[in-house]
Amino acid sequence: MGGNEQTYVRQAFASNWLSTVGPNLTAFEREFERRIGLPGVALVSGTAAIHLGLRLLGVGPGDEVFCPTLTFAASANPVRYLGAEPVFLDSDRETWNLDPEILRHALEHRAAAGRLPKAVVVVDLFGQCADMDPILEACAPYGIPVLEDAAEALGARYKRKPAGTLGQVGAFSFNGNKIITTTGGGMLVSHNPDWVEKARFWSAQARDRGIAYQHSEIGYNYRLSNVLAGIGRGQLQVLDLRVEQRRAIAFRYRDAFADLDGISLMSQAPYGLHTNWLSCFLIDEDRFGCSRDDLIRVLDAAGVESRPVWKPLHLQPLYASAERYGGEVAADIFRRGICLPSSSSLTLEDQLYVVNQVREWVGAAPLRDLDDAHRSRGHSGLVSTAPGASDTAGVPAVFSHLNPTTS
């Protein structure tokens, strides 16, 4: 927590505004709009935002929706909520996100068959924006709208534009594992204010105006509470610090493994700012000396939790029959990808422990501290993540003066 969350929560209790209306809810939406530049409606989850967003884009029974295969299931499940079917597309090997060339090919193929998708879901994976310009250019001739799933990428930027603002609709998550949290929650944003208001209407059970409980459309119980919005207000105030902390953690790992062969940090695309929400690495088994799964087992035995990156959706039993274009790149990233401990509260001591467990397993000498690894690469200073700052994502940020446990 950043420090102000309890102040806003106490205000909610003191005023007795505890449910799905209240000053915190209104203020959170306005403060979020000032942050990213688009109006939004606060919801109970990022999944709810994707669900309502797809409905706004007209997705319904019998439709198809393109979606990257390398993502969490929540990016695709709402497609089926609406009676439509996802079609999965492969990843770009450098950014791990949706491959614009695969998308272009898939659209051409579908257009020739008279089976264009109703919408395209684009995911900003692990804190890095997809390459949105060629994606939008591929969709434009067919009039196909894009929903940008920025659940993992709040604070990231694409060519100076905030993640979640590039498509017709954007979706964010404030789940407990995200870079900031409301414990559970999400936000739908759009360039179209009328769509935001429509989503707000649907999220409150679609009750018609008037004193009677009259309903003319299907609605949902998707509105965020005023209490949780108070947590969101406090969290939003420390977003820039959280981005700095996550990037610092990722680059400390990278520098600490610089002398090891066969382990590499997820690429930092040159077109924007990667928040490194999770510190994700690829393992080359032949060069590293063990597989990704071997390393997970070794870390688990040492009391360190690590996990694979997302399992591609075309490999999931739920979506085994779904159509797809490619999938080999996503499958390879999954086979070799590992997420190391990445919490904003990760201490230098705990991160050093993780680093040295990895180094010991491959027979490398332990490090005495992480700052030495940074200095050995010649890095110093801080790359700002404030709005309007340089977006030179390829230049590493080093925060040797910043204690990751600082609130």
157's CB contacts (< 8 A; 6+ apart) are: 129, 163, 272, 273, 391
Alpha-carbon Rg for the chain, nearest whole angstrom, is 22
CA atoms of 1 and 238, how far apart (whole Å): 9
269, 300 in Cβ contact below 8 A? Answer: no
**How far from each other are the two terminal CA atoms of the chain, in whole angstroms?**
7
**Is 311 an annotated catalytic residue?**
no
Residues pairing with 204 in the sheet: 221
Ramachandran area for residue 254 (φ above 0: left; ψ -120 to 50: alpha; else beta)? alpha
| The pairing of beta strand 272-273 with beta strand 146-149 | unpaired
212's CB contacts (< 8 A; 6+ apart) are: none
Given CA atoms 322, 327, 331, 334 in this order, what sign does their dihedral have? negative
Exposed, middle or buried, 330 (CB in 10 Å: 0-12/13-18/19+)? buried
CA atoms of 99 and 292, how far apart (whole Å): 24
55, 31 in Cβ contact below 8 A? Answer: no
Neighbours of 363 (CB within 10 A): 8
| The pairing of beta strand 324-325 with beta strand 85-89 | parallel
From the list 236, 231, 239, 203, the residue with the least C-alpha distance to 12 is: 231
Residue 208, token pair as written in the block: 């018609």
CA atoms of 29 and 41, how far apart (whole Å): 6
Selecting among 118, 159, 178, 311, the annotated active-site residue is 178
CA atoms of 264 and 292, how far apart (whole Å): 12
Alpha helix positions (H), 160-314? 193-203, 226-236, 239-256, 285-288, 292-301
Active site residues per annotation: 178
